[in-house]
């Protein structure tokens, strides 16, 4: 049986006090904590296995290369990619999206259309704006309703023969909405468009099968799935990755270099220029090995129950308003308190040992839509508990009484 209290023992950071209070970490949407096995793997690499990869014939280089490529295979299997060559190591979701915006973008022409949604993180807005400016493409936006749900009928009307790419988040980092991405992908493909899914907020909560989804690209960050910062993944369909020019030039992404001509390496190395975050890649593989020992269905059910419990408790507070009330959501509760700035609430909660996020969460268009400066966001992981939510609600009420 899934037991969050037992899982918590694997995460050293959670076992500490902040301002004399036991830490309650409700900022998992920003970054997750790391299990000891991941921390140990990073330490092992730098203590014993430190060497560059893919280039050396000596023992340490071969050992590091084997571990790095084994991590790639672990991730390939976890997301059910067809081959490990389709799994590219990047710096994170932002880097992965920028890679597609540049490389796939080079295949686009003036007047081609790209569709995103109104609930996207800035990292899934700005790269496409830059691409549209560079290539004179057209950016279109799927609207949302007051519940924080995409308007699928409006999306259908936006699609056209000029649509070349649809790029949407799987789960909104601000609203917690789980988008109907299989339908989004199916509709895009019916028009011949490709689809990128921003999985930064879904890979750690839901089972991901890229072949079943039939997405063309899937991007996520290591640090949000209990791995290190500075490393992430871009999955892509092989025929697309083969057709796309490299994003960066340098070592390891080349087959042969002369001053007259350079030919590029095969996948996945074609898109992995320079010395990568080796320790990060290896430890990300360890994070997925850790996840494979857990019951993800039970975790998904538990996290949704935790979110629903917290949302119900917050809604019972006078003056509280939930931002994002989709029927299909998970792990995130964003809210505002009448006449109190989110920053003030967040500051007082921090003094009581509770870590939440306040502000616009890199989704300013959402804040504009709801006409608010920002929200207080509590975001959960499988190591959070109902008891922590109860402490949080008491601290929230105390904070409100101090500010009114």
Q: Which of 104, 400, 220 is nearest to 376 (CA)?
A: 400
Euclidean distance between CA atoms 235 and 268, whole angstroms: 10
- Return the percent helix, strand and coil in the chain, to nearest 5: 45, 20, 40
Residue 132 annotated among the catalytic residues of the structure: no
Residue 163: its H or E element: strand 163-169
Cis peptide leading into residue 268 (ω within 30°): yes
Say whether 232 sits in a helix, a strand or coil.
strand
DSSP string, 10-78: T-GGGS-EETTEE-EE-BTTT-----HHHHHHHHHIIIII---SSS--SHHHHHHHHHHHHHHHHHHHH
What is the dihedral sign for C-alpha 347, 348, 353, 357?
Answer: negative
Which of the following is catalytic: 132, 137, 215, 362? Answer: 362
| Active site members | 362
């Amino acid at each position: 049986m899934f037991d969050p209290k037992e899982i918590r023992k694997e995460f050293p950071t959670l076992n500490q006090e902040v301002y004399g209070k036991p830490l309650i970490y409700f900022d998992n949407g920003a970054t997750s904590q790391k299990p000891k096995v991941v921390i140990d793997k990073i330490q092992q690499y730098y203590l014993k296995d430190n060497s560059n990869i893919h280039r050396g014939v000596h023992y340490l280089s071969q050992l590091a290369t084997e571990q790095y490529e084994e991590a790639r295979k672990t991730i390939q299997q976890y997301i059910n990619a067809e081959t490990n060559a389709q799994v590219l190591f990047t710096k994170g979701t932002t880097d992965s999206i920028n890679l597609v915006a540049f490389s796939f973008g080079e295949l686009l022409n003036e007047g081609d259309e790209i569709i995103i949604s109104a609930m996207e993180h800035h990292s899934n807005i700005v790269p496409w704006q830059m691409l549209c400016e560079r290539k004179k493409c057209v950016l279109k936006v799927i609207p949302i309703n007051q519940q924080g749900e995409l308007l699928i009928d409006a999306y259908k009307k936006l699609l056209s023969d000029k649509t070349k790419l649809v790029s949407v988040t799987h789960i909104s980092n601000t609203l917690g909405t789980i988008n109907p991405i299989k339908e989004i992908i199916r509709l895009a493909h019916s028009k011949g468009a490709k689809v990128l899914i921003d999985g930064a907020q879904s890979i750690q909560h839901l089972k991901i099968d890229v072949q079943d989804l039939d997405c063309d690209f899937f991007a996520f960050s290591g640090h949000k799935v209990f791995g290190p910062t500075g490393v992430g993944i871009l999955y892509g369909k092989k025929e697309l990755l083969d057709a796309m020019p490299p994003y960066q030039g340098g070592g390891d992404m080349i087959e042969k270099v002369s001053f007259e001509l350079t030919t590029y390496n095969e996948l996945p190395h074609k898109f992995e220029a320079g010395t990568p975050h080796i320790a990060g890649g290896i430890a990300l593989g360890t994070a997925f090995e850790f996840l494979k020992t857990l019951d993800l269905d039970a975790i998904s059910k538990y996290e949704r129950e935790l979110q629903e419990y917290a949302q119900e408790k917050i809604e019972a507070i006078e003056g509280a308003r939930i931002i994002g009330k989709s029927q299909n959501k998970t792990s995130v509760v964003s809210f505002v308190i009448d006449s109190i700035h989110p920053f003030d609430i967040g500051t007082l909660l921090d003094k009581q040992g509770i870590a939440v996020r306040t502000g616009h969460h890199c989704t300013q268009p959402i804040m504009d839509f709801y006409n608010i400066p920002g929200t207080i966001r509590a975001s959960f992981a499988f190591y959070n508990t109902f008891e922590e939510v109860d402490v949080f609600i008491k601290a929230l009420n105390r904070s409100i009484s101090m500010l009114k």
